[in-house]
Amino acid sequence: MRPSLVLAFASQVVAAGIQLPLVLPSASSPAVSSVGKPIVTSDALQADIDAKNLLERANHLYELAKLSNPDYSHPTRVIGSKGHVATIDYIYSTIASLGDYYTITNQTFNAVVGNVFEFRLELGGGGNVPKSASAMSLTPPTKNKGPVFGPLVLVDNDGCDQTDYASNVVGSIAFIRRGTCTFGQKSALAGKAGAVAAVIYNNGQGSLSGTLGEPSPDHVATFGLSREDSEPYIEELRAGKTVAAKAYIDSIVENIKTVNIVAQTNGGDAENCVMLGAHSDSVAEGPGINDDGSGSLTLLEVATQLTKYSVNNCVRFGWWAGEEEGLLGSDYYVAMLSTEENGKIRLFMDYDMLASPNYANQVYDATNEANPTGSQELRDLYIDFYQSNDQNYTLIPFDGRSDYDAFIKHGIPGGGIAAGAEGVKTKEEAEMFGGKAGEWFDPCYHQLCDTVDNLNLAAWELNSKLVAHSVATFARSFDGFPERCTVESESHGVASYWHGPKLVM
């Protein structure tokens, strides 16, 4: 799950004449498919879900996250790390071990990864370390990954033009106001002007953290700083005084290849697929066992249990990489679909964070008014599930924070559920679900403590049964589910907030 807005401040394609069996097999008299297995039912697939199996997989996933320790000093499954590569291998080998039930595809794509290991900014002769200083994401390190020294030099205007950088910027630490152009452009212009580092100070309230975006050889090590922390130095510089500064960033920026794994049943109508997805990666800060180990492992478990049955419609599982860098894997997957292939996906179900410790049963409020037709029928299937299990639920905004976004932007109905991320549980929600009001649904969201201990097993099991229910329902039949219609939607190609990494300007 991507951070919420608040925290981050930081041709008509018709599914070809759908062929439903004339007589749908019923649960009481299981029909036997050509491969000699009973047709899947919701009750049977739900009964196959056991928290013990899920927990075993979670323990294994944590061991895989630890493979990143030598490089990151802590467990993580961020893209490019050994922990993520091992996660991909684990998903692939688990599905491969199921024989010819599935066809597996690796979809490789390029991504940029960066990691800041350490940084320090000192301003003024006294070695003052401003509290709000942060290193920008995707910043290069300072020279030789060591400290650099220089006078702080105030850049003219917003530092978006090479002429804003006077000749005394050479060898200096460039001091640049936020605004007009991207952080990446400012950093590159400072680098071209000969600065040894750059500090971008906020033009509004609060601290400033963001990303330099697409790497450039001109970028220099770049910090963000609040306006409050900057003002005393701006005044000194305007008064003609010299401000000594010291900058240090140890970081890496790399171009890597990473992989989406897609597994599709060989059985079932390949023209009519139900698709579901979870993201295989975590943030760099921690092992991501809830976010989104929980969803990824539920998909693995459901895919494993499904092999006991036959299906009428194709079931396609996707494990996306690079979700935490800006929904990269799912964006790439959907962008690569031909119009014909797009039309075969009847709907997409997103399962990101299913076991939050202070959980709520959150259903994305995906309406047909605002989304491709069918999204609302899916939403209502989830609501029915919670209601028939005597569980409360809440509706939460379907606003593009996870991998469903590319699907709905390309005309594919979508939806999903989540157990909650960094939102604060209200008093009413504590009455509905238990847990603690005033605390995050997942107090370890995007942190080192997102370990096996961070999982609520009861919530995870219930939500995994919901996933089983959704898979079994559509694997049996799309009866009553809207046909696919147009592929291209108006918002096609329009980037939304959560695509791409972070604040860029």
Ligand X SMILES: *[C@@H]1O[C@H](CO)[C@@H](O)[C@H](O)[C@H]1NC(C)=O
**Residues with catalytic roles:** 323
295: nearest Cα among 188, 158, 442, 189: 442
Judged by beta carbon, residue 430 or residue 449, the one nearer ligand X is 430
Q: What is the DSSP string of 284-313?
A: TTS--IIIIIIHHHHHHHHHHHHTTSB-SE
Instruction: Return d(Cα 310, Cα 201) in angstroms, integer.
Output: 60
Pick from 431, 439, 453, 479: which binds ligand X (CB under 6 A)? 431
Stretch touching ligand X by CB under 6 A, among 322-330, 386-394, 419-427, 471-479: 386-394
390 binds, among Zn ion, ligand X, none (CB under 5 to 8 A by kind): ligand X
User: Is 490 a residue that touches ligand X (CB under 6 A)?
Assistant: no
Stretch touching Zn ion by CB under 5 A, among 77-85, 238-246, 287-295, 373-381: 287-295
Pairing label, strands 244-265, 148-154: antiparallel
- As measured in angstroms, the least distance from the Cβ of 18 to ligand X is 32
Pick from 1, 113, 259, 349: which binds Zn ion (CB under 5 A)? 1
Judged by beta carbon, residue 307 or residue 392, the one nearer ligand X is 392
Judged by beta carbon, residue 446 or residue 484, the one nearer Zn ion is 446
283: nearest Cα among 498, 79, 504: 79
> Backbone phi, then psi, for 263, in 5-degree steps?
-125, 130
Q: ω before 269 within 30° of 0 (cis)?
A: no
User: Is 384 a residue that touches ligand X (CB under 6 A)?
Assistant: no
Cβ neighbours around 23 below 10 Å, total: 7
Helix (H) or strand (E) holding 347: strand 345-351
Instruction: Return d(Cα 299, Cα 286) in angstroms, integer.
Output: 21
1 binds, among ligand X, Zn ion, none (CB under 5 to 8 A by kind): Zn ion
Asked if residue 208 lies in contact with residue 127, where contact means CB atoms within 8 angstroms, the answer is: no
Pick from 390, 427, 480, 494: which binds ligand X (CB under 6 A)? 390
Only one residue has tokens 């199996």, namely 53
Instruction: Give, as ranges, the residues between 104 and 123 that touch ligand X (CB under 6 A).
Output: 106
- As measured in angstroms, the least distance from the Cβ of 352 to Zn ion is 7
Q: In the numeric block, which tokens belong to residue 21?
A: 């069996």
Which residues have a Cβ under 8 Å from the Cβ of 295 and sit 6 or more positions away? Answer: 278, 279, 351, 352, 353, 354
Only one residue has tokens 């194709």, namely 314
User: Is 88 a residue that touches ligand X (CB under 6 A)?
Assistant: yes
Size of the site for Zn ion (CB under 5 A): 2
Judged by beta carbon, residue 1 or residue 262, the one nearer Zn ion is 1
216 binds, among ligand X, Zn ion, none (CB under 5 to 8 A by kind): none
- As measured in angstroms, the least distance from the Cβ of 405 to Zn ion is 14
311 binds, among Zn ion, ligand X, none (CB under 5 to 8 A by kind): none
- As measured in angstroms, the least distance from the Cβ of 89 to ligand X is 5
Judged by beta carbon, residue 26 or residue 106, the one nearer ligand X is 106
User: Is 291 a residue that touches Zn ion (CB under 5 A)?
Assistant: yes
Judged by beta carbon, residue 349 or residue 360, the one nearer ligand X is 360
Stretch touching ligand X by CB under 6 A, among 221-229, 390-398, 466-474, 480-488: 390-398
373 binds, among Zn ion, ligand X, none (CB under 5 to 8 A by kind): none
- As measured in angstroms, the least distance from the Cβ of 96 to ligand X is 8
User: Is 116 a residue that touches Zn ion (CB under 5 A)?
Assistant: no
Asked if residue 481 lies in contact with residue 347, where contact means CB atoms within 8 angstroms, the answer is: yes
Instruction: Return d(Cα 330, Cα 449) in angstroms, integer.
Output: 26
- As measured in angstroms, the least distance from the Cβ of 70 to ligand X is 20
Judged by beta carbon, residue 197 or residue 462, the one nearer ligand X is 462
Asked if residue 347 lies in contact with residue 372, where contact means CB atoms within 8 angstroms, the answer is: no
Instruction: Return d(Cα 505, Cα 503) in angstroms, integer.
Output: 6
In our burial notation (b when 16+ CB lie closer than 10 A, e otherwise), range 396-414 reads bebebbbbbbbbbbbbbbb
Q: Is 271 left (phi over 0), alpha (psi -120 to 50) or beta?
A: alpha
User: Is 391 a residue that touches ligand X (CB under 6 A)?
Assistant: yes
User: Is 389 a residue that touches ligand X (CB under 6 A)?
Assistant: no
Stretch touching ligand X by CB under 6 A, among 47-55, 67-75, 85-93, 297-305: 85-93
- As measured in angstroms, the least distance from the Cβ of 106 to ligand X is 4
Positions that interact with Zn ion (CB under 5 A): 1, 291
Chain residues binding ligand X by CB under 6 A are 88-89, 92, 106, 390-392, 431-432
